[in-house]
Amino acid sequence: MRIRVNRDVCVGAGMCALSAPGVFAQAKDDGRVVLVAAQPALLPAQAAARKASYLCPSGAITIEPD
């Protein structure tokens, strides 16, 4: 799995950082998504990233298979 984020589309809702804190964070200056782990190895982190992608209101998170 490879995760990509589009900070230009992000609205700073924070659902990603709440759902998958090991994968996503929020920038302190503008609250938009920061990708912490583009390729999480552990299955729980991968599942959390998928959930975050689904919950993202702006569609700023894209998950691609390896």
Q: What is the DSSP code (8-state) at residue 12?
A: -
Give SS3 for 47. helix
Report whether 24 contacts 33 (CB < 8 A): yes
pLDDT at 30: 96
Residue 17: pLDDT band (50, 70, 90) is: very high
pLDDT in tens, 18-61: 999 999 999 999 999 999 999 999 999 999 999 999 999 999 99
**Record: fold of 2-64:** Alpha-Beta Plaits (3.30.70)
Residue 66: pLDDT band (50, 70, 90) is: confident
> How far is 56 from 4, CA to CA, in rounded Å?
13
Per the structure block, which two tokens stand in for 26?
């929020």
